[in-house]
Amino acid sequence: MTVLEESKLDALLGKMVCDMGAAAVAPLVIIGDRLGLYKKLALDGPLNTQELAEKTDTNERYIREWCAAQAGSGYIEYDSATERFSMSPEQQAVFADDDSPACMTGGFYAIASMTIDEPKIAEVFKTGKGVAWGDHSECLFCGTEKFFRPGYKASLVDEWLPALDGVIEKLESGAKIADIGCGHGASTIVMALAFPNSTFVGFDFHEPSVVNANNRAAESGLTNISFEVAAAKDFPGTDYDLIAYFDCLHDMGDPVGGVAHTLKALKPDGTLLIVEPFAEDELEKNLNPVGRLYYAFSTMICTPVSKSQEVGLALGAQAGPKRLENVVREGGFTHFRKATQTPFNLILEAKP
C-alpha cells in the first residue's frame, strides 16, 4: 500500500482549494463585467451592497453574495467597520478599466467558452479530429477580443512596431497593410487610428467576426480600414508593405501555406510581423503560471481549431521561437529575428 507523505498531500490539497476557488469565481467575474458592477464600484465606491444594487439596478441579495466572493478572492476590498466595499487602483486597472493594459476580464469569457465546449473537446480527444473556430461558444469570440485588445492598445504602436526595421517610417508616410486572422479587428483598428496616411485591410475566415469588425470600423469613423472574409492561404492583394499575424498563426491548420502566400503578397522590401504567446523552446521552461494558462487555452481552443483544418499542423500556443522560425523559413522567408518580447508575447519579424 502506498504511504502518503502528509506535508506533500496538504500542500497539494491547499493548491486545489485555491484552484477550485479561482474556477468557481470565474463566472462571477463575467457577471460583474456584464452588469457593470466593477465599474460602478470603482466610480462611486465605497458602497454597501444595497447602494451597489440600487446603482446597478440589480437585486441586493445576489449582490451581497457576489461582493463576498469577490472580496474573498482579493478582487475588491471590504471594510468591516463601515460594511462597505471598494476597489484599489490596481483592482480597478484589472477589472474596471477596459482600456487598461492590465485589464484581464476578457480571459474569463474565453474560459467560460472552454467550459461550455468541454464535451466537444473530450470527444476529439478520442477521435483525433478538431473543433472549428466557428463551432466554439460565442463567449470565445468576444472574450478573445476583450483579452487581447488592452495589450494591443498599450504596446502595438509604442513598442512592437518601432521594434521592426524601418516599418514606422513607412506607416507614417503611407503604407499598405494586411492584418491576417484579425478577428473583431482590434489590432487593425489600433494601427489604423495611429497611422491615418496608411491603408489597412483585415482578413479572417470567420464571417461573423468580419461583420463585427466592419461594424467596429464604422463606429470609429475610420476611412482607411476595411475587413474581408479570407483565409491566410488565399487573401487577396499584392505589394503589401506589412502583413501581420496577431496571436493566430499557431491556430492555423497550414501555417506554412499561409506564410508562403504572405511572401508572394509582400513587396520585396516588405515585412512580416508575427505576434505569438510567449514561450521558450523547452517544455520545462514553460511550466510556470503563464505557460500553464497558455497550455490550457491551447488544449481546449488552439489545437482543436488547427486540427479542424487542412494539414492540421497544430503548433499549439506554446510553439516557441525555434518552431515558429522553422515555419517561417519553410514558407520561404530568409530573414527572421525576435524583434522584442513581453512576459506574454513574442514579437517576431521576417523579411523576404
Q: Whole-angstrom Cα distance, residue 111 to residue 144? A: 10
Q: Looking at the DSSP assignment, which residues form a beta bridge with residue 244?
A: 179, 273
pLDDT at 139: 84
Average pLDDT over residues 160-177: 98
pLDDT at 265: 98
CATH architecture of the domain with residue range 6-95: Orthogonal Bundle (1.10)
Q: Is the pLDDT of residue 152 over 80?
A: yes
pLDDT at 243: 98
- Burial per residue of 311-344, b for 16 or more beta-carbon CB atoms within 10 angstroms, e otherwise: ebbbbbbbbbbebbbebbeebebeebeebeeeee
Q: Do domains 6-95 and 150-283+310-351 have the same CATH topology?
A: no
CB 83 within 8 Å of CB 107: no
Read off the pLDDT of residues 121-134 as tens digits, 9 standing for 90 and up. 999 999 999 999 99
CB 37 within 8 Å of CB 56: yes
Q: Give the start-to-end residue ranges of the domains of the chain.
A: 6-95, 150-283+310-351
Question: Taking the domain 150-283+310-351, which CATH number applies?
Answer: 3.40.50.150
Read off the pLDDT of residues 138-151 as tens digits, 9 standing for 90 and up. 889 888 999 899 99
pLDDT at 99: 87
Half-sphere exposure of residue 207, counting CA atoms within 13 Å on the CB side? Answer: 0
- What percentage of the chain exceeds 70 in pLDDT? 100
